Amino acid sequence: MAQGANRTTAQVVGVVVLAAAVTGFLAVAAVRHGFFDLKVYYGALTWWVRDGGEIYDYLKPGTQYGFTYPPFAALVMLPMAYLPWTAAIVVSVLASVATTTVLIWWLVDPIARRAGWTRWFALAVALCLAAAFEPMRETVNFGQVNTLLLFLVAVDLLRLLPAGNRWAGVGIGLATAIKLTPGVFIVYLLVTGRWRAALTASGTAAGVSLLAAALFPDASREFWTEALWNTGRVGELAFVSNQSLRGVVARLDPEHPSTLLWLLLVLGTLALWAWRSRAAVAVGDEATGLALTGAVMCLVSPVTWVHHLVWLLPALILLVDNAMAAPAGRRRQVLLVAATIGYALLISRTVWLWEKDFSGVDGFLGSNAYVWVSLALLAFLPIRRWLTPNGSAVEASGVPQLDQPDRRAPTGQRHLVGRPLTVR
């Protein structure tokens, strides 16, 4: 009893110390954006609902930034127009914290169970580390919707789809209707042969978009015919915050970026992603499928601001998961070092050292540092080997596998990603 109490005390102290250290780090490293993007949403919705303007005509005063999301996103955010500004901030922050907490719990809890860690302690440590993660802190400081979209996709891929639930795909469809880029997960479902889920996702996205069109015909017409194609509303492609392949190419020649080079890089990246995603699904590794698709979305999207890189969070957690599942030795050390390096880069603001001048070899390497992390995760994140109930291994041809002899789960329990069947 005394030993358990001492352990709990030590863990509480450890979490408090870590939280204080992260708070100090954020006080120095975190940039305060004053909920800039949330102000854009709030201003556009207020202009639309209260002042009788057209939502896509609104630009935040003194900027070229306006509402760039589809009309269904405006429908989802509509209650914001009736809230005081402070209340809108509170809702935005709480939504980000809540969705992040649930997602991290789904990914970290299996590691804690298998490694024998105290589960609340593992979650608390992970949340502290997530708070320091630059894409996460940027999402909160900008008032962005990234964690909500990631959560909707994760509900499908980590919970509904592995359990064979007929509603699998609804979350992906909603995320796609709110912001078009999660539509890559519909392609993921198609590439991996989950036709029913892909149809559900496509039908959901189309259905809610038609609902928004019926409610807001003028706004829908303007978005699909004009606002969607106005790339000037999203910002400069060569800006160092654009950590996509398009950003890499644009920084090579900001005046005349090569579209052909970008398309070739995108095609090669998509081919690698399709191969690895199919291999992951072939062995029942839906979590890695989520992580790989999140990474490829960041890479092939024309614009991937730093805060969009919250989609890399599952991949970093899965690196730790794979490390702890591997036997003690070199493989575990390599995976933990890789996770540490990736995480360290993504809390460091490294790319901003080249914000004003990204010329030269150092500029090419440094200003695109987060792109290199995304590519490394896409190419080298381990794919798990699932063992069937009779103990035979399910292999993915040509793909490096991670031995995990404790992972024995019937098909209907594969949503318990990485969890041993006996819970201690």
User: Which pLDDT belongs to residue 416?
Assistant: 41
User: Which pLDDT belongs to residue 413?
Assistant: 40
Task: Please say whether the beta carbons of 370 and 243 come within 8 A.
Answer: yes
Ranges of H-type helices in 116-227: 119-132, 134-142, 146-154, 170-178, 184-191, 195-215, 217-225
Rounded to an integer, the average pLDDT of 108-112 is 94
pLDDT surpasses 70 at 202: yes
Domain ranges of the chain: 238-384
- Measured between alpha carbons, how far is 332 from 224 in angstroms, rounded to an integer? 49
Rounded to an integer, the average pLDDT of 269-285 is 97
Token pair of 368 as six digits: 């695109």
pTM, full prediction: 0.90
User: Which pLDDT belongs to residue 168?
Assistant: 97
User: Which pLDDT belongs to residue 231?
Assistant: 62
Give the pairing type, strands 401-402 and 383-384: parallel
Structure-derived torsion over alpha carbons of residues 73, 75, 81, 84, reported in degrees to the nearest 10: -70
pLDDT (tens digit per residue) in 124-178: 999 999 999 999 999 999 999 999 999 999 999 999 999 999 999 999 999 999 9
User: Which pLDDT belongs to residue 6?
Assistant: 82
Please state at what angle helix 36-49 crosses helix 85-115, rounded to 10 degrees.
130
pLDDT band at 303 (very low <50, low <70, confident <90, very high): very high
User: Which pLDDT belongs to residue 392?
Assistant: 44
Q: In the block, which residue shows the tokens 């109930």?
A: 389
Ranges of H-type helices in 301-396: 313-325, 330-345, 360-367, 369-380
Residue 80: φ, ψ to 5°: -60, -30
pLDDT (tens digit per residue) in 344-397: 999 999 999 999 999 999 999 999 999 999 999 999 999 987 544 344 444 433
According to DSSP, the residues that pair with 387 across neighbouring strands are 393, 408
Rounded to an integer, the average pLDDT of 220-249 is 86
Rounded to an integer, the average pLDDT of 205-211 is 98
Rounded to an integer, the average pLDDT of 180-203 is 97
pLDDT (tens digit per residue) in 385-411: 754 434 444 443 333 333 343 333 333
Percentage with pLDDT > 70 across the chain: 89
Rounded to an integer, the average pLDDT of 103-110 is 96
- Measured between alpha carbons, how far is 143 from 93 in angstroms, rounded to an integer? 7
pLDDT (tens digit per residue) in 33-89: 899 999 999 999 999 998 888 999 999 998 888 999 999 999 999 999 999 999 999
335: burial class by Cβ within 10 Å (0-12, 13-18, 19+)? buried
pLDDT surpasses 60 at 315: yes
CA-CA-CA-CA torsion sign (399, 404, 405, 406): negative
User: Which pLDDT belongs to residue 56?
Assistant: 93
Token pair of 364 as six digits: 């090419």
User: Which pLDDT belongs to residue 395?
Assistant: 40
Task: Please say whether the beta carbons of 222 and 190 come within 8 A.
Answer: no
User: Which pLDDT belongs to residue 396?
Assistant: 39
3-state secondary structure of 415: coil
pLDDT band at 415 (very low <50, low <70, confident <90, very high): very low
Mean pLDDT over all residues of the chain? Answer: 89
- Measured between alpha carbons, how far is 12 from 294 in angstroms, rounded to an integer? 33
272: burial class by Cβ within 10 Å (0-12, 13-18, 19+)? middle
pLDDT surpasses 90 at 335: yes
3-state secondary structure of 327: coil
CB atoms near residue 260 (< 10 Å): 8
User: Which pLDDT belongs to residue 234?
Assistant: 61
Rounded to an integer, the average pLDDT of 188-210 is 98
User: Which pLDDT belongs to residue 248?
Assistant: 97
pLDDT band at 94 (very low <50, low <70, confident <90, very high): very high
